[in-house]
């Protein structure tokens, strides 16, 4: 009990330091949340009212595309424009060992002490998609800390990019020459989520062809929004094209703000997040239910032996949930539960 009081007081102190812009407190709070400890909920509740100002840019592309270097340089450029920046690098992790790959973490170190840039490397921890729940929470923490821009760098082909599209305001897709036709073809599936396209390593063989291919794909891809994604060239290592990229990011931000799209996008995002949180809570209850229910193992045994089918079983055990929602619908609609 005394321990809990102490923990509570420590957390309050930490949040106080955080609100006074202590980078040390920021790092500690991120670690708390990344570890998914019991303080997470309290932290998120406490900082929520401070969020909503930071602009989230997702930077994604295949492994070896030079994402870290480009992210780093864009961050430096934003700093020059007197904007504050946080970087989250999402590392591919083995879902089995939980050990993060250290490459990006190490490569990122050299700007972590730059004024205004805070860098955090995160493991994916086997979440579905490279962008975990913790990543979303850390964007919020950096936002509440007052970062103008939060750059989220994710590695991956396919799914990660879809996940990043859900949390970022601007998505930058990076392609590089020499990945073979099939990889480029695969990219076709994710053309719609990119707002800005960059051919990095533009000094290499095949860059011109890739540029033209992407140009054609962009011309052919149908879009739900009216934004025509600009296609840029860059050589991240020399810094070529970085300034242009930063400018285009700022232009896209401006465009979203002026058309009221940003407000709408963010509301939709909050909606999805709330639904996700509700599902997560209910799942928690069901997991508890299973845990307290000693015969679950027996049921699994019966299903394994084909004495029972899983579909009927699931209907059976979730049916009371349906009953509950139906019975309580009136109350839920206008009642004391905040609806």
Site for a copy of itself in 121-150 (CB under 8 A): 126, 128-130
Beta bridge partners of 87: 119, 151
Q: Which residue in 178, 184, 206 sits closest to 197, CA to CA? A: 184
Interface with a copy of itself in residues 264-303 (CB under 8 A): 266-267, 270-271, 273-275, 277-279, 281-283, 285-290, 292-296, 299-301, 303
Q: How far apart are CA 149 and CA 134, in angstroms?
A: 18
Q: How far apart are CA 223 and CA 337, in angstroms?
A: 40
Q: Which stretch binds a copy of itself (CB under 8 A): 38-46, 209-217, 230-238, 240-248?
A: 38-46
- How does strand 196-199 pair with strand 117-123? unpaired
Q: Which stretch binds a copy of itself (CB under 8 A): 29-37, 61-69, 205-213, 232-240?
A: 61-69
Answer yes or no whether residue 304 interacts with a copy of itself by CB under 8 A. Answer: yes
DSSP 146: T
Q: H-type helices in 168-260, by residue range?
A: 180-188, 207-220, 242-258
Interface with a copy of itself in residues 76-105 (CB under 8 A): 92-97, 101, 103
Minimum CB distance to a copy of itself, residue 191 (Å): 8
SS3 state of residue 225: coil
SS3 state of residue 240: strand
Contact present, 175 and 83 (Cβ < 8 Å): no
Interface with a copy of itself in residues 148-207 (CB under 8 A): 155-160, 162, 180-183, 185-186, 188-193
Answer yes or no whether residue 51 interacts with a copy of itself by CB under 8 A. Answer: yes
Tokens standing for residue 193: 């989520």
Q: Which is nearer to a copy of itself, 27 or 185 (CB)?
A: 185
**Which residue in this structure is represented by tokens 């997040």?**
273
Minimum CB distance to a copy of itself, residue 100 (Å): 9
Q: Which stretch binds a copy of itself (CB under 8 A): 81-89, 108-116, 230-238, 322-330?
A: 322-330
Contact present, 111 and 176 (Cβ < 8 Å): no
Answer yes or no whether residue 314 interacts with a copy of itself by CB under 8 A. Answer: yes
Q: Which stretch binds a copy of itself (CB under 8 A): 4-12, 17-25, 243-251, 305-313?
A: 305-313
């Amino acid at each position: 009990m005394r321990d809990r009081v102490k923990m509570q007081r420590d957390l309050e102190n930490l949040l106080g330091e955080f609100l006074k812009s202590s980078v040390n407190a920021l790092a500690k709070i991120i670690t708390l949340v990344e570890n998914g400890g019991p303080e997470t909920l309290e932290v998120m509740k406490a900082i929520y009212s401070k969020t909503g100002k930071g602009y989230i840019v997702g930077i994604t592309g295949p492994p070896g595309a030079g994402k870290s270097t480009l992210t780093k340089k864009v961050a430096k450029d934003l700093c020059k424009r007197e904007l504050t920046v946080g970087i989250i690098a999402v590392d591919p992790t083995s879902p089995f060992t939980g050990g993060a790959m250290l490459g990006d973490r190490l490569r990122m170190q050299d700007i972590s002490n730059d004024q205004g840039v805070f860098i955090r490397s995160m493991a994916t921890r086997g979440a579905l998609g490279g962008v975990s729940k913790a990543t979303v929470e850390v964007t919020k923490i950096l936002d509440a800390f007052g970062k103008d821009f939060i750059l989220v760098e994710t590695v991956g082909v396919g799914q990660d990019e879809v996940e990043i599209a859900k949390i970022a305001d601007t998505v930058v897709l990076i392609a590089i020459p020499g990945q073979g036709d099939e990889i480029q073809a695969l990219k076709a599936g994710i053309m719609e989520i990119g707002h800005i396209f960059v051919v990095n390593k533009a000094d290499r063989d095949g860059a011109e062809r890739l540029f033209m291919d992407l140009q054609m794909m962009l011309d052919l891809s149908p879009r739900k929004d009216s934004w025509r994604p600009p296609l840029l060239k860059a050589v991240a290592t020399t810094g070529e094209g970085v300034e242009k990229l930063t400018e285009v990011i700022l232009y896209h931000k401006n465009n979203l703000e002026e058309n009221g799209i940003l407000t709408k996008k963010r509301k939709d995002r909050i909606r999805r997040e709330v639904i996700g949180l509700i599902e997560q809570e209910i799942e928690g209850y069901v997991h508890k239910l299973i845990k307290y229910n000693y015969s679950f193992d027996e049921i699994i045994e019966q299903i394994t032996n084909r004495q029972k089918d899983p579909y009927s079983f699931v209907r059976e055990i979730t049916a009371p949930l349906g009953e509950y929602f139906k019975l309580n619908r009136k109350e839920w609609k206008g009642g004391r539960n905040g609806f």
